[in-house]
Chains A and B, each alone.
Chain A
Amino acid sequence: MICQNCGQRPASLHYTKIVNGAKTELHLCEECAKEQGESSETEHSFMSAAGGYTIQDLLSDLLNMDQPSTTGNAGKKQPKKANTTRPLTCDNCGLTYKQFTQSGRLGCAHCYHAFESKLTPVFRRVHSGNTHHTGKVPKHRHEKLYAQRELEEKRRQINIFVQNEEFEKAAELRDEIRALEKQFQGREEDS
């Protein structure tokens, strides 16, 4: 088989990619595969993947699915809307929502607020509907939340100790929790 891209060298790499049920086959020689691999970004691939369909591609497809008007009959719908609404734009960095859907990338931290309404459905699909971070908190700038998470973690741990009947450890932890709670309340009153 001859490489689909250059039509000269024999194809040595064969890929099948299935997107929304549509199957695409790719047959490339190593040189063309390498070229394509370099232009498509994949994570932790041993060799740069050729024609790899990344999560970012998926995201971009999802976002564009919400906007059927950008393809095909764009000409018909656009004028009506354009007169009434300004395109959705981040007022901090100037990124438009359209630029975001095309690239799948945001321009700055503020974009999360600017496009909030549009992002929630994305989280539903990409992050199983979760909209709240429950993990690590930077210690230096978010002290209060950090202390709160620490408390939650200790409370979780104490239940495990009690379940395992490790009462001495549980008692120790209880004292730690009380001390933390006091500190926490103290800080609340200060602020």
Chain B
Amino acid sequence: MASEQFFSEAISPWMQEGPGPEGDIALSTRVRLARNIEQYPFPVFASEEASATLLRYASSTLLNQSKEVGFLEALNMNELRPNERQVLVEKHLVSPYLIKNMAHSAVLLNNDESISIMVNEEDHLRLQCLSNGMQLEECYNEADRLDDWAEANLTYAFDERLGYLTSCPTNVGTGMRASVMVHLPALVWTNQLSRILPAIHQIGLVVRGIYGEGSEALGNLFQISNQMTLGKSEKDIIEDLRGVVMQVIQRERHARESLLSSSRIKLEDRVFRSYGILAYSRTMTTKEAANRLSDVRLGIDLDLIKGISGNILNELMLLTQPGFLEQYAGESLTQEEADIRRASVIRERIKLEL
């Protein structure tokens, strides 16, 4: 089936490795380092000429040395079709900001798309490492290695008191943002999340729903990340974040168990209704897809639904995004057409499992 090939090519290889550590709840981990190069003005206020020079200099220097980190390929944003750019955003390989200011911006990617280096984002370089499940230390070590490599070839803007200098002072110091994406349906249903959040915020960490901030999130997916970048070492930030994420994971597991023992039929009903709707509906909005997929994923994790891989949530969250749908369709789609296409992609993807 042609769709099978499309699906497998659309998903980044690192994501296809199956669930990572704590994979029943933690979907993915990301560490990004913001870096600037000495003597060059920061991108936000740089002239066209300065931006063009920086892009040429940084990408050629890094590409020349890319053997050491396993070959990188450069994509200049202004040479891609709009739809290709959108897909990169949906895969988290570039930020929306990078394509908004795309005259002189690029991304360097490795083979399995677990490394992305954005050039001329709001900082000269945004080094990013992605992995599945909860792998904060591994992801940081990878980013650290990538950073050492880049630093051996370029001179960073670094101040001995303030650390790595970034375009936005909220990133100064380590320039690091580490985050883990977690699926927390049981904490949401039982209203426990709103009680946990204030405690997490107090220790300098942030929890975001996939759509904006607050306790309500689409598909019950949340991202827990550090906010503070000055005053704590990278290792301490990673360690503190890891501790909190593990606690949240434990609580979600408890909430799932108590839901199973106190309201099993209600839970099963919700899970199987959503499963039925995903398997047979003919039109589906992004929001409905996200929430139904969350139900089904929970059903898989609790062994209520058997014979379907848990990866289906991560994959379909991506495949049902507007950019992917258009790429699959090979043409631009109105919202109504996208909803129809989304329903059919989900049906086909579920059929592949059976």
Contacts and interface: CB of A to CB of B under 8 A. Distances in A.
Contact of A30 (B45, B156, B213, B286): B286
A176 interface: no
Contact of A105 (B45, B233, B338): B45
Interface stretch (A39-47, A69-77, A179-187): A39-47
Nearest to B148: A139
Report, as a range, how many residues of chain B touch the other chain: 35 or more
A65 interface: no
Contacts of A139: 148, 151-152
B41 A135 contact: no
B59 interface: no
A45 B210 contact: yes
B233 A49 contact: no
A95 interface: yes
A44 B92 contact: yes
B69 to A, nearest CB: 16
A135 to B, nearest CB: 4
Given A45-B208, A105-B168, A112-B159, A52 B317 contact: no
Given A51-B212, A55-B227, A131 B161 contact: yes
B321 interface: yes
B96 A41 contact: yes
A12 B95 CA distance: 24
A49 B212 contact: yes
A141 B158 contact: yes
A17 B230 contact: no
Interface residues of A, number: 63
A59 B170 contact: yes
Given A128-B231, A136-B233, A108 B155 contact: no
B306 interface: no
A95 B44 CA distance: 11
B41 A138 contact: no
A16 interface: yes
B173 A135 contact: yes
Contacts of B89: 48
Contact of A46 (B158, B176, B214, B317): B317
A47 B318 CA distance: 9
Nearest to B37: A109
A45 to B, nearest CB: 6
Interface in A84-142: 93, 95, 99, 103-109, 112, 119, 122-123, 126-142
Contacts of B225: 43-44
B172 interface: yes
A145 interface: yes
Interface in B227-252: 227-235, 237
Contact of B161 (A34, A39, A122, A133): A133
Nearest to B33: A136
A135 B240 CA distance: 14
Contact of B36 (A34, A50, A59, A109): A109
A127 B169 CA distance: 10
A107 B123 CA distance: 10
Nearest to B214: A16
Max count, chain A CB within 10 A of own CB: residue among B160, B212, B285, B286: B212
22 contacts: A29-B335, A30-B335, A42-B96, A46-B90, A47-B218, A104-B168, A105-B44, A105-B122, A106-B42, A106-B167, A106-B169, A109-B157, A123-B172, A126-B170, A126-B228, A134-B232, A138-B151, A138-B156, A138-B158, A140-B152, A140-B155, A141-B158
Given A41-B100, A52-B212, A112-B162, 5 more contacts: A15-B211, A52-B211, A93-B41, A107-B41, A123-B230
